[in-house]
Chain A
Amino acid sequence: EVQLLESGGGLVQPGGSLRLSCAASGFTFSSYGMNWVRQAPGKGLEFLSAISSDGSRTYYADSVKGRFTISRDNSKNMLYLQMNSLTAEDTAIYYCAKERGHRQPCDYWGQGALVTVSP
């Protein structure tokens, strides 16, 4: 059974940093690209970042480029999102998701991690 479990969310002050982790199991992690997607309270889905299966290629939405860094450790089946210079607009539920194939839509999603940016 495919499982994705996010951790590392919480309350952070504006200007602060946070690192989200996503533990993957139930599939060959090193064979799939992975994404981070977020959802602000009461809002729609926003694609943030993607990383190729081997970690050699990454992509960022303009809203987080230069502030967020996606990475992965295939030896540990872990996906990460390092978030810096956080603002109130970054308050959201952050989902990690597995691509169903190379640059294809995501067929499995974690339950999400809540990040709240507030003084």
Chain B
Amino acid sequence: IVLTQSPATLSLSPGERATLSCRASQSVSSYLAWYQQKPGQAPRLLIYDTSNRATGIPARFSGSGSGTDFTLTISSLEPEDFAVYYCQQRSDWWTFGQGTKVEIK
């Protein structure tokens, strides 16, 4: 299963809303996760099974979707949210999307 993330780069200001997309080449049901990665750090699990926040993840992060189309929304960007975000499916073992970089405008 191929995951395609869009856009490749999102340029926004702190306080703005970020909407990231992940599209699967075939249905992954609800088995879609989102990770955040900052430079020099390991990935951090944000969302699992489409919409469940991982432990300690702030409520400004939310996930939605089903089947082949999924969205990660950051309701109001904090300075620490500027990073690269990856989606991952576990319907057919595991694959990652290519990532979306959220950068400061």
- Chain A contacts to B: CB under 8 angstroms: 35, 37, 44-47, 50, 59, 95, 97, 100, 103-107, 109-112
Contact = CB atoms under 8 A, between A and B. Distances in A.
Nearest to B42: A109
A44 B55 contact: no
B6 to A, nearest CB: 14
Interface residues of B, number: 22
15 contacts: A44-B96, A44-B97, A44-B99, A45-B88, A46-B96, A50-B93, A59-B93, A95-B43, A100-B48, A104-B49, A105-B45, A105-B88, A105-B90, A109-B43, A110-B42
A107 B33 CA distance: 11
Contacts, number: 52
A106 B55 CA distance: 12
A47 B42 contact: no
A47 B94 contact: yes
B98 interface: yes
Given A45-B86, A104-B48, A105-B88, A111 B42 contact: yes
B45 A45 contact: no
Given A44-B86, A44-B99, A45-B86, A107 B45 contact: yes
